[in-house]
């Protein structure tokens, strides 16, 4: 079911993320103005494109807060765990400099299979992103509007561009900017 198009926005910049490993296990807030601003952009996009007023978000507040604004304005808001960022396990919330270069090098050496911090490996994230995209939508339609995380967006884009070819760290792209939209 690859006919479904995605418009995916990365959540706004979270408060307190600087210099830290932030994944599925760290639920950081975003400033309410940034969440509202992104919700207005999504609303305007839906109006221009004549899309249903329905949004899917990760349940973490940095994404879900955008959906809550849209819900206040009459939208349907679905929170879905399949849209979560990579789970970095013990690394989640830690400063990168305290995790250390050796631990990161071990992950990079086995980029797809190694689970950083004993959390989730990249292969699992790739599979989760593919399964969510392929799942049928109850109301049908051609476009889903999503607010998710940089890692999830990278996984989905990687699959769109490379299919089943697995990445290594040397070719893994940089994440989107905060509040950036990708068409996938």
Query: What's CA 161's distance to the chain center, in Å?
Result: 17
Q: Which pLDDT score is estimated for 140? A: 53
Set out the domains of the chain in order of their start, with CATH numbers: 5-138 (3.40.50.1240)
* pLDDT at site 66: 98
Quote the CA–CA distance of 142 and 183 in Å, as a whole number: 12
- 156: tokens are 């989905």
Q: Rounded CA gap, 75 and 69, in Å?
A: 9
CA angle 10, 11, 12 (to 5 degrees): 120
Hey, what are 102's tokens? 């050796």
Q: What is the pLDDT tens value at each position of the chain, 184 positions in all? A: 345 789 999 999 999 999 999 999 999 999 999 999 999 999 999 999 999 999 999 999 999 999 999 999 999 999 999 999 999 999 999 999 999 999 999 999 999 999 999 999 999 999 999 999 888 766 656 789 999 999 999 999 999 999 999 999 999 999 999 999 999 9
């Amino acid at each position: 079911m690859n006919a479904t198009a995605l418009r995916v926005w990365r959540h706004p910049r979270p408060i307190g993320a600087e210099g830290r490993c932030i994944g599925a296990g760290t639920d950081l807030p975003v400033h309410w103005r940034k969440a509202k601003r992104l919700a207005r952009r999504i609303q305007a996009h839906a109006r221009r494109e004549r899309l249903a007023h329905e949004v899917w978000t990760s349940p973490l507040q940095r994404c879900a807060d955008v959906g809550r604004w849209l819900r206040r304005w009459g939208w349907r808001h679905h929170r879905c765990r399949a849209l979560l960022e990579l789970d970095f396990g013990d690394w989640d919330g830690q400063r990168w400099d305290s995790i250390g270069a050796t631990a990161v090098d071990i992950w990079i050496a086995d980029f797809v299979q190694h689970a950083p911090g004993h959390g989730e490996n990249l292969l699992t994230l790739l599979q989760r992103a593919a399964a969510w995209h392929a799942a049928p939508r109850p109301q049908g339609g051609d476009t889903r509007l999503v607010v998710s995380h940089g890692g999830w967006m990278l996984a989905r884009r990687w699959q769109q561009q490379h299919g089943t070819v697995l990445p290594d760290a040397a070719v893994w792209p940089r994440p989107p900017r905060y509040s950036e939209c990708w068409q996938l």
